[in-house]
Amino acid sequence: MRKIGIPRSLFYYYYGNLWQDFFDALKIDYIVSPITNKEIMEKGMKIAGSEMCLSLKNYLGHIDYLKDKCEYILVPRISNFKNDNQTCTNFWAIYDIVNNLFETKILNYNIDIKKHQTLKKGLFKIGKILNKSHFEIKKAYHYAIIKEKKRLKKNHQINQNKLKSKKTKILITGHPYNLYDELIGKEIIKYLNNNQVEIIYSDKFDPKITNKLSKKISKDLYFKYSKDNLGAIVYSQDKIDGIIFISAFPCGPDSLANELAMRKIDKPYLNIVIDDSTSFAGIETRLESFLDMLGGKLND
Amino acid sequence: MKDCYLGVDIGSISTKGVIIDDENNIIASSYIWTEGNPVNAVKKLLEILKGKLDKNYQIKGIGTTGSARKLIGLMLKANIVKNEITAHAIGTLTFYPNIRTILEIGGQDSKIILIKNKIITNYAMNTLCAAGTGSFLSSQAKRLGINVEEFGDYALKSKNPVKIAARCTVFAESDLVHKAQVGYPKEDIIAGLCKSVVLNYLNNVGKGKKITPPIIFQGGVSKNKGVVKYFKKILKENIIVDENSHLMGAIGIAVLARKNKNGNTYSLEMKNLKFQTKAFECNRCSNNCELLKIYRNNELVDSWGSKCGKY
């Protein structure tokens, strides 16, 4: 039995590395649930309500995997990053959903910048619950946050180098927990990689830069992650050949962001909505024809 | 002996075959229902085409497109397998080099392709839901007890099309039943359906796209005069419907087969070919992939569906 379980879904793709560095520095052993497989996904669907989005169903599957393997499961509540930078309502609700559905103890912290609840306060709270001294927590926090900043800088640099590539460049837009999940977006990424496409991921840009740029598409948007995504499109639009927007069914914020991007950006654009349909054939048709169009193969 | 090229478009509802010569003239064509069995449909199609083909021609290339393109590509040993968007665009541009917009409604897909200076600039396809496509119309035709082929004629008779929600097939169906039970005449309901297909198409697939003339409308649904009428009325533009509009995908892929010919000669003799597929579930890991093994004359030619690449 490990001390902490980290579900490899949703928040993991934003904070996973930081959490692992933090717990490593505190010398606390943790377990990360495995890469999504069919068993986890199906379990999640069984537990979840019918109105929940595919990503949330998947998250609950990961929680279910961890429930008897650790003492605590880490489930934060990410609410907002100041005004006009809210997150999806599912992110607000997730702690209560997990708390109601599972018996395992939950390690929780809030990010609610409007009420001055920051990541730093959250991690200190967790450290205290785990019986670590103030000094130990402070050291671990700084260790984790410095590594995180370096990662952010590196990722942004990698993306900028990719924008100079001579290959066909496609910006993949979407939430990282969809893009990198084995059963949600991975198959699309694999297909593109096999077809020699330079993939630029929207979430790898520095959100401090992209978030503000989204104003060029809409000033009224108030979802933080949608703003980051749209900002990435604005940031890179002159250097890319096309945009693929991947979202999970039925994502509310994405349906809005997708429409905005489709109407306001003058670039070849493909929207793929993923549900638990197992057939890749329909998606493949769309990807293949999209690549044909970008490569000018249609025009011989 | 003269050279010719076969293009096969295997859609969810219908299977189309076209044979063209070096100058892109159609020398034989056929259009039959797929009836849920693409392999048998293609066998039947080839028999028909064989009967129509002059003995002076030999087939130097085969292309497949449509939703069963991969399977049939293996069966016919096609030299090119391409998606239907590419095929449709190439087929249309062969006959109408000045076209700006292609509207296409097929059995389970609908798409819009925008062209400028013979270059495709953008396209959109319906999401995976098949509402407002050919399969929707044919299932509603069955419900009303008429052939889908007569749909257009019925629709033209109507003066007051009823309003039908076409966003979702399930809602449309309950709307339709309700309108029929209330006592609306059949032709008004059918005209309403045709109109709702057009509105649904323009709202879903065509949203945000600038539709510039000349416009061509193709796919199986373009044979439905009612739908054509409402496209004209709503877009306030002339809509070209080619007599071969339902064959454009097959023509396009035949053109591609000609461009990609590799010197091989093909035969249309497929009657005795044993082409089988076997489905099974792999239990080696918790992904439990659904695998499909494909046998051509008892020889394993391909297998699909594995996530790890073991098969």
CATH of the domain at A22: 3.40.50
The model's confidence at residue A296, banded by pLDDT at 50, 70 and 90, is low
pLDDT of amino acid A161: 94
- A154 inside domain: no
Query: What does chain A look like in DSSP terms, one character per residue?
Result: -EEEEE-SSTTHHHHHHHHHHHHHHTT--EEEPPSP-HHHHHHHHHHS-TTS-HHHHHHHHHHHHHTTTEEEEE--EEEESSTT-B--HHHHHHHHHHHHH--SEEE--EEEGGGTB-HHHHHHHHHHHTT--HHHHHHHHHHHHHHHHHHHHHHHHHHHHHTT-SSEEEEEES-HHHHT-TTTTHHHHHHHHHTTEEEEEGGGS-HHHHHHHGGGT-SS--BHHHHHHHHHHHHHTTT-SEEEEEEETT-HHHHHHHHHHHHH--S-EEEEEE-S----HHHHHHHHHHHHHHTTGGG-
Residues A13 and A122 in one domain: yes
Residue with tokens 């035949």, as numbered in its chain: B254
Name the closest residue on chain B to residue A259, using Cα atoms.
Answer: B208
| B contacts of A299 (beta carbons < 8 Å) | 118-120
* pLDDT tens by residue, A9-34: 999 999 999 999 999 999 999 999 99
* Residue A49 in this model has a pLDDT that exceeds 90: no
Nearest one of B157, B152, B176 to B241, comparing CA atoms? B152
Q: Assess whether pLDDT exceeds 50 at residue A299.
A: no
**Torsion angle defined by CA atoms of residues A163, A164, A167 and A170, in that order, rounded to the nearest 10 degrees:** 10
Please report the pLDDT score of residue A34 as a whole number.
Answer: 94
Mean pLDDT for the stretch of residues B65-92: 89
Closest chain B residue to A269, measured at CA: B122
Q: Which residues of B touch A284 (CB under 8 A)?
A: 83
Sheet holding A2-6, edge to edge: A30-32, A2-6, A70-74, A105-107
Report residue B129's pLDDT band, with 50, 70 and 90 as the boundaries.
low
Give the DSSP H or E segment for B274.
Answer: none
Tell me if B2-88+250-259 shares its fold with B97-237. Answer: yes
* B250/B179 Cα distance (integer angstroms): 38
pLDDT above 60 for A297: no
pLDDT, mean over chain B: 85
Show residues of chain B in contact with A39, CB under 8 Å. 286-288
Q: Residue B230 in contact with residue B166, Cβ under 8 Å?
A: no
Q: Is the pLDDT of residue B217 over 90?
A: yes
CA dist B151 and B137 (Å) reads 9
Mean pLDDT of B200-212: 83
Q: Are strands B101-105 and B26-33 parallel, antiparallel or unpaired?
A: unpaired
What confidence tier does A59 reach under pLDDT thresholds 50, 70, 90?
very high
Contact A298 B122 (CB under 8 A): no
A71 pLDDT tier (thresholds 50, 70, 90): very high
- ipTM reported for the complex, 2 dp: 0.70
CA–CA min distance A75, chain B (Å): 25
- Record the tokens describing residue A294, joined without a space: 């970008």
* Interfacial A residues in 235-264 facing B (CB < 8 Å): 259, 262-263
Question: For residue B191, what are its two tokens?
Answer: 């005209």
Question: Is the Cβ pair B90, A298 closer than 8 Å?
Answer: yes
Cβ-Cβ contacts under 8 Å between A and B: the total is 63
Residues A6 and A144 in one domain: yes
Who's near A27: CB < 8 A, 6+ residues apart?
Answer: none
| Alpha carbon distance B113, A24 (integer Å) | 53
Please judge whether A277 and B288 are an interchain contact, meaning their C-beta atoms are less than 8 angstroms apart. Answer: no
Collect contacts of B124-128 with beta carbons under 8 A, ≥24 apart: B124/B205, B124/B206, B124/B207, B124/B209, B125/A285, B125/A286, B125/A289, B125/B85, B125/B205, B126/B204, B126/B205, B127/A271, B127/A273, B127/B204, B128/A273, B128/A275, B128/A277, B128/A282
Task: State residue A137's pLDDT score.
Answer: 94
In angstroms, the Cα distances linking B287 to A38, A58, B153 are 5, 14, 50
Q: Is the domain of A179 the same as that of A135?
A: no
| pLDDT at residue A74 greater than cutoff 90 | yes
What pLDDT is stored for residue A278 in this prediction? 63
| Per-residue pLDDT at B270 | 76
Report residue B125 as tokens: 């396809």
Q: Name the pLDDT band for A300 (thresholds 50, 70, 90).
A: very low
Establish whether the linkage from the previous residue to A253 is cis, with ω within 30° of 0: no
3-state secondary structure of B15: strand
A266 touches chain B (CB under 8 A): no
* pLDDT of B67 above 80: yes
Q: Which domain holds residue A268?
A: 163-299
Q: Is residue A59 part of a domain?
A: yes
Mean pLDDT of chain A: 90
Q: Are residues B290 and A285, on separate chains, in Cβ contact within 8 Å? A: no
Suggest the residue from B94, B128, B260 to mutate for an interface test with chain A (most A CBs closer than 10 A): B128
Question: Which chain B residue is nearest to residue A276, measuring alpha carbons?
Answer: B128
The token pair at B308 is: 């790890």
Distance CA A235, CA A204 (A): 12
| Rounded Cα gap, residues B17 and B10, in angstroms | 8
Q: Is A285 on the interface with B (CB under 8 A)?
A: yes
- The predicted-structure confidence for B266-277, as pLDDT tens digits, reads as follows 888 777 788 888
pLDDT at B130: 63
Take residue A69 and report the two structure tokens written for it: 């393997």
Partner-chain contact A285 B122, CB within 8 Å: no
How long is chain B?
311
Same domain? For A169 and A287 the reply is: yes
Average pLDDT of the segment spanning A155-159:
95
pLDDT of A276 > 80? The answer is no
- Nearest-CA residue of chain B relative to A299? B119
Out of A268, A278, A286, closest to residue B125 by CB: A286
For the B2-88+250-259 domain, the top CATH level (class) is: alpha beta
**Amino acid, single-letter form, for residue B248:** M
Highest mean pLDDT out of A153-162, B32-41, B128-137: A153-162
Largest CA distance in chain B: 64
Most confident of A58-67, B6-15, B77-86, B206-215: A58-67
CA distance A37 to chain B (A): 5
Give domain status of residue A153, yes or no: no
- Please check whether residue A278 touches B, CB under 8 A: yes
- Spell out the domain ranges in chain B: 2-88+250-259, 97-237, 275-304
Confidence grade of residue B304 (pLDDT, cut at 50, 70, 90): confident
B83 to A285: CB separation less than 8 angstroms, yes or no: yes
Query: So what's the pLDDT on residue B131?
Result: 66
CB contact under 8 A, B83 and A292: yes
Which of B80, B84, B111, B125 is the best residue to mutate to test the A interface, defined by the most A CB atoms within 10 Å of its own CB? B125
Asked if A285 lies within 8 A of B287 by C-beta distance, the reply is: no
**B125–A262 CB contact, under 8 Å:** no
Tell me how many domains chain A contains: 2
Choosing among 3.30.930.10, 3.40.50.12280, 3.30.420.40, 1.20.1260.10, the CATH entry for B97-237 is: 3.30.420.40
pLDDT at A138 exceeding the cut of 90: yes
What tokens does B295 get?
Answer: 């046998």
Same domain, A113 and A30: yes
- For B221-259, what is each residue's pLDDT tens digit? 888 888 999 999 999 999 999 988 889 999 999 999 998
Which residues of chain B does A262 touch, with a Cβ-Cβ cutoff of 8 Å?
A: 207-208
Chain-chain contact of B82 with A277 (C-beta, under 8 angstroms):
no
Taking the CA of residue B222 and the nearest CA in chain A, the distance in Å comes to 22
Mean pLDDT of A86-106: 91
Question: Is the pLDDT assigned to residue A192 strictly greater than 70?
Answer: yes
Domain finish residue from A105, A120, A148: A148
**pLDDT value of position A244:** 93
Which residues are within 8 A (CB) of A182 and not within 5 positions of it... i.e. 6 or more apart?
A: A35, A36, A37, B307
Radius of gyration (C-alpha) of chain B in whole angstroms = 21
Q: In chain A, what residues touch B286 (CB-CB under 8 Å)? A: 37-40
| Per-range mean pLDDT, top range of A177-186, B192-201, B301-310 | A177-186
Q: Among A289, A292, A294, pick the best mutation site for testing chain B contact (most B Cβ within 10 A).
A: A289
Q: Using an 8 Å Cβ cutoff, are A236 and A171 in contact? A: yes
Both A210 and A270 in a single domain?
Answer: yes
A42 touching B (Cβ < 8 Å): no
Predicted local distance difference test score (pLDDT) of residue A98: 93
Whole-number Å distance between alpha carbons of A11 and A202: 16
The arithmetic mean of pLDDT across residues B96-109, rounded, is 87
| The last residue of a domain, from among A148, A177, A212 | A148
